[in-house]
A = this chain, B = another copy of it.
Amino acid sequence: MTTTQHEYVPGLAGVPAAKSAISNLDGQQGILKYRGYDIRELAEKSNFSETAWLVIEGNLPTKAELDDFDYDLRHRRQITFRIRDILKSLPATGHPMEALQAGVAAFGMFYPKNIRDPRLNYESGVRLVAKLPTIVAANHRLRNGDDPLTPRDDLDHAANFLYMLTGEEPDPFAAKIFDVCLILHAEHTINASTFSAMVTASTLADPYTVISSAIGTLSGPLHGGANERVLEMLKEIGSVENARPYIEEKIRNKEVIMGMGHREYKTMDPRAIILKGLCQQLFGESGSTPLYDIAEEVEKVMAEKVGAKGVWPNVDFYSGIVYDKMGIPVDLFTPVFAVARVAGWVAHWREQIADNRILRPTQIYVGEADRRYVPMEERG
């Protein structure tokens, strides 16, 4: 029991839980940086495997480092038949995030772990980044009664994932856009799932366990899943003509409009700006879709009505439209988020154990002070 009295802040909002050197954001300016690098620059010039290295290791890799890391990632994509058997045993009706949480906890059992050994920690990180897409894709194919596909080491991280999902080698431009989506979701300071990874990590649990906790936390509808709901909203709107009355009514009734605004950004979410540009290219090149046309109209009406108040489309507004266009089913949007964010989770796990202190806050007790046990015969 500590004698210092700290203030109770619901949700620990604004309470610092760690010193961290992984990412930071400036909500006023709309800037997000990984390890000091602006994500606008990373989205333009880097790729997911280089960005994953940067996020985890702290610096841009040398050529030799990137070659090794990329090789390691490509060659650790396979999952054993036992993990496939586990996925086969899961009901097709369950949510793929639960399958992913179970799969990651299970596959940790197959590997040596000793968090005092930097080489093993590197290997664990590689395995997690490399195999998460394979679990997501294998589970998706199995629930549809299809054989899972063997990962292809001649494809990069993004292209291989799309291949494992659909069985078709993706169009290079679509794969490139998907790669940018992975970069944009690789890290975002301490949110609930990252914090959950840190809490689990702080007991010195193994990295697979840590990531499994983070996946569980991401699965909650208040955290992951916002882009799923954007897509549902666009489908509900149904036509370009219906966009204006739909949005106006929502604003009048002070109802939440999905994919708009962000707790942290007071200007447009920088990830949304990048994705919006990519959307324009993607849909410009391969033709628009009814959903994209509706999204453009929603954006226009929103800019007109509440843009001046700083309410802009966020990253979730565009990512769902992109994933939908690529044929990714809606209930895989959150697993795709995990496929990207695993880089950040691994980085926070490594940062936590490098200077560990168990994360164990306290409570304010508001319950009964003193009650005496009453024998069953005497209870009312």
Residues in chain A within 8 A of chain B (CB atoms): 1-2, 4, 6-24, 27, 33, 35-37, 41-42, 45-46, 60-63, 66, 82-83, 85-86, 89-91, 93-95, 97-99, 101-103, 105-106, 108-110, 189-193, 195-196, 199-206, 208-210, 212-213, 216-224, 264, 356-376, 379-380
Contacts and interface: CB of A to CB of B under 8 A. Distances in A.
Given A22-B367, A35-B368, A196-B196, A11 B373 contact: no
Nearest to A373: B41
A98 B102 contact: no
A336 to B, nearest CB: 17
A267 to B, nearest CB: 12
A60 B213 contact: no
B109 A90 contact: yes
Contacts of A63: 376, 379
Given A6-B16, A63-B379, A360-B190, A21 B365 contact: yes
A220 B212 CA distance: 13
Copies of this protein in the assembly total 2
B86 A14 contact: no
A94 B110 contact: yes
9 contacts: A11-B359, A23-B367, A35-B371, A37-B372, A98-B108, A102-B109, A189-B363, A201-B220, A213-B216
B219 A11 contact: no
A212 B101 contact: yes
Contacts of A195: 199, 359-361
Contacts of A95: 109
Among A191, A209, A222, A361: residue with most chain B CB under 10 A: A361
A213 B1 CA distance: 25
A373 B37 contact: yes
Given A36-B371, A373-B41, A106 B110 contact: no
Contacts of A14: 1-2, 4, 6, 361-362
Nearest to A218: B203
Contacts of A209: 97-98, 101, 216-217, 219-220
A366 to B, nearest CB: 5
Contacts of A4: 14
A366 B219 contact: no
